[in-house]
A = this chain, B = another copy of it.
């Protein structure tokens, strides 16, 4: 993987298309970054002495995009320093881990992870050398040294990266103490929480009962039944909103929605409190609560995000030894036309609701999502998600969604990452892929350059800002 970042990368290959793309990209390159959905830890910004640790602490151990690929090629997670739940020993020599990684960096050729890492190494760490077994220790030194400089303080990087606003993702029971600390610190970086209630809404979440107790505690509402549960959620949403939240986020195995009566919902909730909820109960309750969350959004105007379709923790052995979010989540087929109909029946025509849909099943782009978003006022489509957050994934999204949904029913980009240092590279891929898509339409005379310039600004900045009410 070359570490030379070509100024025309990801454009073309047609020469006239490259020329137009370059011009569009230049006009958008320096726009501030809007980061409306992601998983950056707010402690980066609340703790003025925050340190990223070693190069391995920064780039490998927290990034399941990276170590899943090494694992797929036979490297045990223990050898990469990923901590085991049972405390069994794992490799602790970070130089050794780095060497293992560097020798296999060729596995990332042509992958988005490869592109992001390459750009991050170049632009944040000034590295213009290929990472491989030979250069491994030299580059380790260079990264480690840079990490020790004051320029690597997260607040300074936030400014250097030109981030206008960054939203974190926080459980419904989070006290948002780090968000409060950021606000109290006097630093004016715009960091906002996002309300994610999966752990209390999905009855089959591990530790659900404890999460409910915690929800009682933080909300001050004794959750003895369904009405109190709803009240507590509304209380938490108001609290999140008071700290700047403009959105909620919801995960579900499928986008199934169906309303329950107050009585039915109450009965299921009580069974769950008694530890007696079935799988069917859990599915029905999630399907009901998604509608209930849409209802709340029409009242408090928090933008609603739905991320369905990931089969979490597919690999039982990895889950048992290492826990969740270890690169073993696998997509399944998704169905929106039937599943979302009850929610849309209730609130799809309501101008107060914005529901942003994501998918890991690209077959739904042209078949279901674009037609739905091209009709219902409440709907917007989020950018390509996770495995599809890539040069080809974006091209498929543009080509399969935009003709039917129209650009203005999409919600711009979000980086959806835990890796703060990769944020500029991720937005850069989007801006370049977007410029190239628009340039392709310009040179084929589907749109003119004036249109393309306005669309470029919206793709890079305006759509995300407006869709998330930021």
Residues of A that sit less than 8 Å from B by CB: 1-2, 4-6, 8-17, 68-69, 71-74, 106-112, 115, 311, 314-318, 327-333, 335, 337-338, 341, 344-345, 348-349, 351, 360-363, 366-368, 370-377, 379, 387-388, 390-393, 399-400, 402-409, 440-441, 443-448, 450-451, 454-455
Q: Is the CB of B109 within 8 A of A406?
A: yes
Closest to A326 in B: B375
Q: List 16 A-B contacts (CB under 8 A).
A: A6-B445, A72-B375, A72-B409, A73-B377, A107-B406, A109-B407, A110-B402, A110-B406, A110-B407, A110-B455, A333-B335, A361-B367, A362-B367, A371-B387, A390-B404, A392-B403
Nearest B residue to A9, CB-CB = B445
Q: Which of B14, B311, B333, B362 contacts A14 (CB 8 A)?
A: B14
Docked-complex contact B327 and A375, CB < 8 angstroms: yes
Q: Are B72 and A374 in contact (CB under 8 A)?
A: yes
Decide: A403 and B390 in contact? CB cutoff 8 A.
yes
Does B392 lie within 8 Å of A399, measured CB to CB? Answer: yes
Contact B387 A404 (CB under 8 A): yes
Please name all residues of chain B whose beta carbon is closer than 8 Å to the beta carbon of A374 when the two chains form the complex.
68-69, 72
The answer for the CA separation of A377 and B76 in the assembled complex, in Å, is: 10
Q: A43 vs B356: C-alpha distance in the bound complex, in angstroms?
A: 44
- Give the distance in Å from the alpha carbon of A335 to the alpha carbon of B5 in the complex: 39
Number of copies of this protein chain within its complex: 3
Contact of A9 among B4, B9, B409, B444 (CB under 8 A): B444
Contact of A13 among B1, B16, B348, B404 (CB under 8 A): B16
Contact assessment for A446 and B10 in the assembled complex, using a CB-CB cutoff below 8 Å: yes
With known contacts A16-B13, A316-B345, A403-B393, A68–B375 Cβ distance under 8 A? yes
| Distance from A180 Cβ to chain B, minimum over Cβ atoms (Å) | 36
**Contact assessment for A367 and B363 in the assembled complex, using a CB-CB cutoff below 8 Å:** yes
Instruction: Give 12 A-B pairs besides A74-B377, A107-B408 with Cβ atoms closer than 8 angstroms.
Output: A9-B444, A13-B16, A69-B374, A109-B406, A110-B403, A110-B406, A315-B348, A330-B371, A332-B367, A371-B387, A387-B404, A390-B404
Docked-complex contact A109 and B451, CB < 8 angstroms: yes
Q: Which 10 A-B pairs have the closest CB atoms?
A: A2-B448, A9-B445, A6-B445, A13-B14, A13-B443, A390-B403, A387-B404, A330-B337, A392-B399, A331-B367
Closest Cβ of chain B: how far from A369's Cβ, in Å? 10
Q: Are A444 and B110 in contact (CB under 8 A)?
A: no
User: Shortest Cβ distance from A22 into chain B, in angstroms?
Assistant: 12
From B8, B329, B330, B368, A330 is in contact (CB under 8 Å) with B368
Q: Which residue of B lies closest to A405 (CB)?
A: B72
Min CB gap A431→B, angstroms: 15
Distance in Å from the Cβ of A162 to the closest Cβ of chain B? 23
Q: Are B366 and A115 closer than 8 Å at their CB atoms?
A: no
Residue of B nearest to A4 (CB): B448
Known contacts: A6-B445, A375-B327. The answer to whether A388 contacts B362 by CB under 8 A is: no
B112, B329, B333, B349: the one contacting A403 at CB < 8 Å is B112
Closest to A11 in B: B444
Residue pair B111, A333 in contact (C-beta under 8 Å): no
Give Cα distance in the complex from A459 to B409, angstroms.
34
CA distance A2 to B447 in the complex (A): 7
The answer to whether A375 and B406 have CB atoms under 8 Å apart is no
Does the CB pair B110–A447 fall under 8 Å? yes
